[in-house]
Amino acid sequence: MGRSPCCEKAHTNKGAWTKEEDDRLVAYIRAHGEGCWRSLPKAAGLLRCGKSCRLRWINYLRPDLKRGNFTEDEDELIIKLHSLLGNKWSLIAGRLPGRTDNEIKNYWNTHIRRKLLSRGIDPTTHRPINEPSIASSASQELAMPPTISFSAPNSDSKEDKSGILCKVENNNNNNNSPIIIREKCPDLNLDLRISPPSHQQNQDQPLKTGGPNTTLCFACSLGIQNSKDCTCTHGLISGTTSSNNSGYDFLGLKTGVLDYRSLEMK
C-alpha cells in the first residue's frame, strides 16, 4: 500500500537550490502569493517537489526572516519555551519573530544542547544531569493527555515523590479529587495543573482569567479552538487573550494562562 508521493519524483531536482530556482520561486510567490504548493512548481516552472518549494520559501526566502546569530535573550527564550513545549519547534518559532522552526531546531541541536549540558542541565528534561532519573520527566509530562492549565502560584506548594514542586488544590468537580499542580518552570510563574479529562468547569461560574482557578480543557490548552472535544468555556478566555493584551507579557503568561493558540503566529 503506502501513500502516493506528494509529487512526481522522477523529474524533480533534489539537493541545494540554485540562484535561478530561488529567483523563480520568489517571483512566483510575489506575483501569486503562497498556497497550493503542489501545483506551484509547475506553475512557476520549477522542477521541484511542492514540499521542497514550501520549505525553501519558509526557511530561507521569506522576506521577514531575521537570519544572523541568535541573541542571548533569544537563547533563554528558546530554552524556556522548550522546557514548556518540548520539541514543538513550530510553536517555539511562533514566539520568535523572523526565526523558523527549522532554524531553531538546528540551533537547539548544535548550540543550546551543548550550552545546557555545560551548565549540567539535561536538555531533554531541563533538570540537573546528576539527579537520579525519574519516571516523570518534563518531556513525558508534556506528552500526557490530561487537562492542563496554568495558574498563579500559591503557598500550598510541596514536592512530590519525584521531587517536582507540586501543590494540591481542591477540585470543584464531581469526584472532589484534588488537583495536582506541578511547577516545572517556577521562574515563568507557571503551574501545570493535571486533572482527569472529564473535568468540567462550572458553567455558572464565569472564568476569571489569570485567577488561580482558571482552567482550560486539554483541547484548548493545545490550541484546538472550538474543538468538538472542548469542555471549557474557552470563549471567555480567548476573548480575553485576543482582545485584551494589557495583562500579557511577551510570552502571554503574565496573567497566568498559557494559551497555546497565541503561540502560533501563522
Partner DNA sequence: AAGCATTGCAACCGCCTCCAA
Partner DNA sequence: TTTGGAGGCGGTTGCAATGCT
Kindly list the residues in this chain that would bind DNA in the complex (CB under 7 A). Answer: 3-4, 6, 9, 13-17, 35-38, 48-52, 54-56, 59-60, 87-91, 101-103, 105-107, 109-111, 114, 224, 264, 266
- Residue 44 beta carbon to DNA: minimum distance, rounded to whole angstroms: 13
Between 107 and 150, CB nearer to DNA: 107
User: Which residue in 262, 247, 257 sits closest to 152, CA to CA?
Assistant: 257
- Residue 77 beta carbon to DNA: minimum distance, rounded to whole angstroms: 16
Instruction: Confirm if 218 and 147 have CB atoms less than 8 A apart.
Output: yes
- Residue 38 beta carbon to DNA: minimum distance, rounded to whole angstroms: 4
- Residue 1 beta carbon to DNA: minimum distance, rounded to whole angstroms: 9
Between 18 and 198, CB nearer to DNA: 18
Between 254 and 261, CB nearer to DNA: 261
- Write phi, then psi, for 206 (nearest 5 degrees): -55, 145
User: How is residue 246 written as a grid cell?
Assistant: 494589557
- Residue 65 beta carbon to DNA: minimum distance, rounded to whole angstroms: 10
SS3 72: helix
Instruction: Confirm if 102 and 54 have CB atoms less than 8 A apart.
Output: no
Question: In this structure, are strands 192-195 and 147-149 parallel, antiparallel, or unpaired?
Answer: antiparallel
Between 30 and 158, CB nearer to DNA: 30
Whole-number Å distance between alpha carbons of 58 and 90: 12
Instruction: Confirm if 156 and 143 have CB atoms less than 8 A apart.
Output: no
Between 101 and 183, CB nearer to DNA: 101
User: Which residue in 189, 178, 173 sits closest to 258, CA to CA?
Assistant: 189
